[in-house]
Amino acid sequence: MSYQRLQNGSDAVAVEACAGLALACAYSSSDEYEAELIQVRRKAGAYGSRHHRQAYVIFALAATAIVAVFFAI
């Protein structure tokens, strides 16, 4: 099972089903399995969007710049 086949959250079930089939599983270690599962869940939005974090960082930098300009005057 490759990353290309894991397109949506429902495929996470297929990844989990693979965990019990040690001889038929495409993962050579539990670390590979966990990394793939986290990647699938991120793509499905389980851990939140990265765009929100980027927006918060940009907002914080802008606010810091405004405060710095205010104190410089």
Q: Give the pLDDT band (50/70/90) at residue 23.
A: low
Joined tokens for residue 67: 């405060």
Burial pattern 2-40, b for ≥16 Cβ within 10 A else e, equals: eeeebeeeeebeebeebeeeeeeeebeeeeebeebbeeb
Q: Which domain holds residue 31?
A: 3-72
**Position 58 pLDDT exceeds 70:** yes
Joined tokens for residue 3: 């990353």
- Model pTM score: 0.38
Q: Give the pLDDT band (50/70/90) at residue 6.
A: very low
Total number of domains in the chain: 1
Out of 3-7, 33-37, 54-58, pick the least confident. Answer: 3-7
